Amino acid sequence: MKYVEVLNNVLITEISKYCKLIKKNNLYWTKCPFHKENTASFCINEEKAFYYCFGCGESGNVIKFIQKINNLTYNQSLQQLSEVYNIKIKHTDISDIQTVMQDLCSYYQNNLSEDILKYFTNRNISTEMIQLFKLGYAIDGVSYLQKKGYAMNIINKTGISSYNSQDRFRDRLIFPILNRRSEIVGFAGRVLSNQEPKYLNSIESDLFHKSYCIYNEWQLVYGLPVIIVEGYIDVIKLTQYGFKNIVASMGTALTYTQLMLILQYTKKIYIMFDGDDAGKNAIKKNINSILEALQSHIEIFICNIQEKDPDDILNQYGEKKIYEYLNLSISLIDWIKQEYTKNLYSSPHSETQYIQTIDQLLQSINSPILRNSYRKYLIVPVSLNNTPQRKWHEKNNKETLELKILLFCIYFNLLEDHFELICNLSFSDKYEDIRLYLISNVYKSNILQEVRYKYDFLNVALSEYREIIYLNKNASQYLMDLINSYQNIKKIQILIPKL
């Protein structure tokens, strides 16, 4: 067994000597040993023998970890591990791979001929964007690095060398992939012909792990919403049109670790995948990863574009259409309901299948409270569709029903316990908007303040009801009975305020 394989197998063992690890699914988590933090954001992937901190961006293999935590050189770290695990290693003078990557990137940039620049012009990509994103073209990076004096074992660490020691990106456009520190960790190559595959990424290496990388991370700004698209050119064009915080998942696969990385910058995400079948199916394919990353304070919205991709939208309509899609985006929970209820009543067993599918899907949500809220919104209305309670609600008059929405605004702590009740009520006009807003956001801690801010006419009604409760000792009991019971609702007459 090669020494690299031996060391890959001891990553967990070595890190556990310095940190207390907690296993979640296939990953290990701990507080980062390289910066102060309150919650664990240091992630170890045992299968890939790789660690990554979503807080400070530190990453690498076991050699890098020992080097960093003990303040050693690379060779000193390698020597220490070889002694611990009795491994014989042929030492080589390992150059700074980052320097090699930068050298390689400059080479690709210098290969931009008039024909290649014409391609960018035809795609409406400006010279400024070509320079900003360090775009290039591959001829033979392997030969170039060899002529520069780099050994093949060093070249292999760049991730560009194919099985026959040639540049895997030959005759492709080059999109350098930079980390948050603006260091080049890998490359992506796009063909200019009909050759397949259309895109290639660097081979997995100590620097590049696709599932831990997002394209354009280096330009992310903390606190602003992030828009996730599929393609590199989509990112470049949206940036050119003035949009901020645009990243690409480097394909339709959106991993949990990529989402966790993005959530270090923002609490609001818009997913704008391509409008073709592959793009539309991509959300469904990645729904488990998305739900796993979901937390109560996170907002995720889905943009259902009709055109080919964001680049196509910009070319046809400009940035205004992008803003329209962002404004028309729907929340993740509503997308799930919309997507999975399409065939809800197509067969006698479809309702049962829907409930089972959603129930299994929601197991990916880590928060029990959030999982329960999603379940109540997605499953309870279906399971209660033909119950006596449903029929009872349909018989109630408008005033009694609209009173209930106000009661839940007054006694908001009861909303989750009586969620199935509000899911099956039917209101009119302004009250229906409030009901839907409450259902969609029941898991938010500040939802009551949001409702009162969003629907200012509620303040008048709430003030009148509170006054009634304070002045009438029977009113409070009556209101609680109205929430907690389906009977005996006419103990006292209370008028609905005129709005």
What's the pLDDT tens digit per position in 462-472? Answer: 565 555 555 55
Residue found under tokens 């900003």: 132
Q: What is the pLDDT of residue 61?
A: 86
Question: Which pair of tokens denotes residue 54?
Answer: 């979503």
Q: What is the pLDDT of residue 386?
A: 44
97-208 fold: DNA primase DNAg catalytic core, N-terminal domain (3.90.980)
Q: What is the pLDDT of residue 449?
A: 64
Q: What is the pLDDT of residue 348?
A: 63
Q: Where are the domains of the chain?
A: 3-84, 97-208, 217-338, 341-383, 388-484
Q: Quick check: 450 and 441 in contact, CB under 8 A?
A: yes
Q: Distance between CA 400 and CA 413 in Å, rounded?
A: 20
Q: 210: buried, middle or exposed (CB in 10 Å: 19+, 13-18, 0-12)?
A: buried
In the chain, the largest separation of any two C-alpha atoms, in whole Å, equals 92
Q: What is the pLDDT of residue 393?
A: 37
Q: What's the chain's length in residues? A: 499
Residue 85: half-sphere exposure toward Cβ, Cα within 13 Å:
23
For residue 484, give every residue at least 6 positions away whose Cβ sits within 8 Å of its Cβ, in sequence order, or none.
418
Q: Quick check: 19 and 30 in contact, CB under 8 A?
A: yes
Please indicate, yes or no, whether the overall pTM of this predicted structure exceeds 0.85: no
Q: What is the pLDDT of residue 428?
A: 52
Low-confidence ranges of the chain (pLDDT < 50): 1, 91-95, 384, 386-400, 473, 485-499
Q: What is the pLDDT of residue 406?
A: 58
Q: Report pLDDT digits (tens) over 146-183.
A: 999 888 888 888 889 877 788 999 999 999 999 888 98
Determine how many CB atoms are found less than 10 A away from the CB of residue 110. Answer: 11
CATH assignment of 3-84, among 3.30.200.20, 3.90.580.10, 3.10.310.50, 3.40.50.1820? 3.90.580.10
Q: What is the pLDDT of residue 92?
A: 44
Residue 496 CA, chain-centre distance (Å), reads: 43
Q: Quick check: 46 and 26 in contact, CB under 8 A?
A: yes
Task: Answer positive or negative: Cα dihedral of 300, 301, 302, 305.
Answer: negative
Give the β-pairing of 184-191 and 172-178.
Answer: antiparallel
217-338 fold: Dna Topoisomerase Vi A Subunit; Chain: A, domain 2 (3.40.1360)
Q: 52: buried, middle or exposed (CB in 10 Å: 19+, 13-18, 0-12)?
A: buried
Q: 46: buried, middle or exposed (CB in 10 Å: 19+, 13-18, 0-12)?
A: middle
Q: Distance between CA 379 and CA 397 in Å, rounded?
A: 26
Of 426, 428, 401, 405, whose CA–CA distance to 415 is shortest?
A: 405
Q: What is the pLDDT of residue 429?
A: 55
Of 256, 261, 310, 260, whose CA–CA distance to 286 is shortest?
A: 256
3-state helix, strand, coil in the chain (%, to 5): 50, 10, 40
Q: Distance between CA 433 and CA 437 in Å, rounded?
A: 6
